[in-house]
Each structure stands twice: as structure tokens, then as C-alpha cells.
Amino acid sequence: MNFAMNNFLKNLMDEYDIDLNHSGVNGERVAARLAKLSLIGVTEDGGITRIGYSKEEEEAKELVIGWMKEAGLSVSRDGAGNVFGRLEGQKISPAVMSGSHLDSVPNGGNFDGPLGVLAALEVVEAWKLAGYTPPIPYEVVIFTDEEGSRFKTGLTGSRSFMGKITEEELDYIRDGNGQTFDEVIEAYGSDRKSYLDADYQSGNLKMFVEVHIEQGTVLEKHNEPTGIVKGIAGPAGLEVSFKGKAGHAGNTPMENRKDPVIAAGMFVQEIESLPRQVSQTAVATVGKMDVLPNGINVIAQEVNLIVDIRDINEETRDKLIKLIYQKAEAIAEKRGIEVTWDINSKIKPMPISPALQEKLATVMNKLEIAPVYIPSGAAHDSMIMGQEIPTAMIFTRSKDGISHNPDEWSSLNDCVKTIHVLKEFVESVMEE
């Protein structure tokens, strides 16, 4: 066994409470599968890099497909690369679907996405051990390219599944190497037509439920293993370009410069104070910035950056977008340089039905877990599904709130307790 995998598995199992192995749910199986996935795209830091539509993402899918088939699921794929494992029920009916994604950010963690997929699959394993056939069909889904690390937009698998991507968007997007969407998807074994035809009839689903790590510290503060998501913030991506005048760093007097880096710096500093002007839940982040031509002795010609803007309320989120681009225009005017901006993505926030939240609370009380209600600042496939299908989301406690990082960690105890909640919840929904 690979040393890294053995060490990861040991850390998972060290404090595991074997009494959590009941009702067909098996923590050792979950741990072994998390450990095997941790080897695909592993980095020197112990994280993973599995970018959407990469060979690493495909390898992870193939591994899980094997487990799906062993569990007795019939497996299919669509033109967007999404994978579905289906278990027929006792009667013909719209299905309950659960799952998440297997792609990652560069040098990300081992729980963001994979836990949701393996939790959904573990429900099937538990039913198989009990010889249980659910009343209605159940599907385990792997959505592709949730993180959006391949392109400048995310959730492409679930958005294709729900018919939320247009020809115009596909014409526009490029990956970091300048490849068009068509080039990327064809190399992946599909094509534009198949991708656009991947949209699913929402009437074929009764409900979608996703397990995901919290990526925050609310559950730690409440000392609870799992919690109930009450709404998902809608992200928007604002591309901003400051264009100045390139020059020699040594020979251009300071008073004659039109330096876009200075403008970009002022802009980033101003952004920090803007979210609280619209709401207590709004956030804005500049995580990507490109300086051109990026020479050590050259005054830059151009700075391109992306502002990630989120809130759980669409009205205040859009108000913040306006404040930010107005600030960019004011700074550019003051500095005597040009600025352009464009919104490259904009997804509606998604409230979660109070009735589904309370159904989850009933399950948690039964399992002696105190319900904790948490807003999600991060985007998830659930927010796409929830636009047309009843959707619930369950969080698992994250150690120190760390995510998108090799140090991302959720204890096996917390993971398995979450799976028990998922199983009980799915069964209760199916029995209605």
C-alpha cells in the first residue's frame, strides 16, 4: 500500500468509534475509499489537484464507477461528463438523487466533493447489506467541474444537467492555456452538442440532497458533527481590467506614470470595506490577478483581476457588484487610466425549504445530534439543482474551517455520523 495512502487512512482510523458501524454503514469502507481517492492527483503537500475535465478527474470517476457497479448500481454518463449510478425502487417514480463532485482546486483537500459522493454511495452499500430495496429509485451522481478551476466559471456539470448553459457562454470561455471549451470537451471524449443535450428533465427527480464539508467553523463552535444548510450564497464574478501606459522602471519619472498596478492596489484595498455597506453576509474577494507584461523593470501596461462577490440575498449581492465597479471607475478616473469591467458569471442565491430543514432536524434529533442551521457562503451544485428541484444540503464539520487546502480535514466520526443522517433523511423522504 502506498505510504501516503496508508498514512491518510491511519489518520482517519486512529480515533474512529467502531460503534458508528451500524445500520449497514461502515466507516472502514468509507475511510478506505477516501484514502484511495487521495492518491489521484496527489501533490507534494499531501493535497490533490484534479481539475475539471482532466485525466485526474476522469481517473477518480472511473474508480468510483467501479464501486458503483460493485454496489449493484447501473451506471451511465451524459455529454457533460456527469456520472449517474441508479438503483431502481419498488415502484416507478421520480428518483431521489444524492452526490457531489470529484474535481478540486489546485492543491486542494481530500474531502471537498468526494465526501458527498462517497456518502451517497454508502447509503446504497448499507441497503445492499440489509437486502433493502427502496420504495422509489435512488441515484448517486458525480457532477463534473464543480470548482471551475479549468475555466473562469464553475458548476459546469450541474449547470449543463439543468440546462443552464448557453451556446454564447461556451463561445466565450477559455481555460488557463487558452484552449476553447470545444477543444477541452472534445479531448475529454464529448462535444458541444452532446454537452448541451445533457440537460435533464427535472420532473424525473423528486429531490436532490448533497453532503459537503462545511468549510467554516460554525459546527466547531457548536461542537456538533453535522449541520443543516439554510441557504446558499449566489456568487458573481466581476472581471476588471486597468489599462495604463508601459514604461521603463528606471527612466520614467514618478509624476509622468500611468501605472495600472497602483490603481489595482487602491481598488483591492477599497473592496475590503464595501461588503459591510450592503449586508452582514456579503463578501468580496480578489483571488486572481495578472500583471502584463509582468517584467521586473517594466511599468505595467495592464492589470486584469477577478472579484468574487457573494451574498445569500440577490438584491444586496447585486448592490455590492454595482458599488465595486463604481469604485473601479472612480479610481481609474483619479489615476488618469482606463478601466473596463464585465460580469463573467452570476448565479442566483438559493434558499432551502424550511420544511426540508425541519425534516433534517427531526432526523438529527432522532440520532441525538442538536440541529445547527448554517448559511453557506460557498457555491455548490445544490444551488443549481435547487432552482427547479426540491433540494437539501447537509454539512460535515471541518477542522479549523480549513478548505481548498491540503490541511482540509473532517474526522471519520463526523463523516460517518453525517452519512447516518443522510441515510435516515433519504429513507424518510422516500416513504412520503
Same domain, 225 and 86: yes
196 to each of 68, 182, 250, 413, how far by Cα in Å? 26, 12, 53, 40
Query: Are both 10 and 114 inside the same structural domain?
Result: yes
75 and 206 co-located in one domain: yes
Same domain, 107 and 210: yes
Letter string b/e over residues 218-255, b meaning 16 or more CB atoms within 10 A of that residue's CB:
bbeeeebbbbbbbbbbbbbbbbbbbbbbbbeeeebeee
Q: What is the rounded distance in angstroms from the CA atom of residue 60 to the CA atom of residue 38?
A: 9
Sign of the CA dihedral running 413, 127, 118, 92: negative
19 and 86, same structural domain?
A: yes
Phi, psi dihedrals of residue 77, rounded to the nearest 5°: -135, 155
Instruction: Show Cβ contacts of residue 251 under 8 Å, excluding neighbours closer than 6 positions.
Output: none
Residue 93: predicted pLDDT: 94
> How many other CB atoms are found less than 10 A from the CB of residue 297?
8
Point out the domain boundary residue: 301, 322, 346. 346
pLDDT attached to residue 2: 64
The confidence score (pLDDT) of residue 3 equals 59
For 394, the domain range is: 3-233+349-430
pTM of the predicted structure, to 2 decimals: 0.83
177-182 long-range contacts (CB < 8 A, ≥24 apart) are 181/151
Does residue 300 share a domain with residue 183?
no
How far is the C-alpha of 397 from the C-alpha of 395, rounded, in Å?
Answer: 7
Sequence-ordered strand ranges (E) for 187-233: 205-213, 226-232
- The residue out of 327, 346, 365 marking a domain boundary is 346
pLDDT of amino acid 329:
97
Strands 298-299 and 338-346: unpaired
CATH number at residue 372: 3.40.630.10
Q: Which CATH number does the domain housing residue 243 bear?
A: 3.30.70.360
Q: How many domains does the chain have?
A: 2
User: Which residue type is seen at 62?
Assistant: E
Domain boundary among 346, 376, 409: 346
Residues 196 and 334 in one domain: no
The verdict on 176 and 289 lying in the same domain is no
Which residues lie closer than 8 Å to 236 by C-beta, 6 or more apart?
308, 309, 310, 317, 318, 321, 343, 345, 346, 347
Same domain, 245 and 325: yes
Residues of the chain falling short of pLDDT 50: 1
- pLDDT (0 to 100) of residue 1: 45
Q: What is the 8-class DSSP label of residue 74? A: E
What local confidence, expressed as pLDDT, does residue 63 receive? 98
Calculate the CA dihedral of residues 368, 371, 372, 376 and round it to 10 degrees: 110
pLDDT of residue 344: 86
Contact 348, 385 (CB under 8 A): no
**Same domain assignment for residues 239 and 150:** no
Are 84 and 76 contacting, i.e. CB atoms less than 8 angstroms apart?
yes
Rounded Cα gap, residues 351 and 243, in angstroms: 39
Q: Are residues 341 and 358 in the same domain?
A: no
Considering the domain architecture, whether residues 205 and 353 belong to the same structural domain is answered as yes
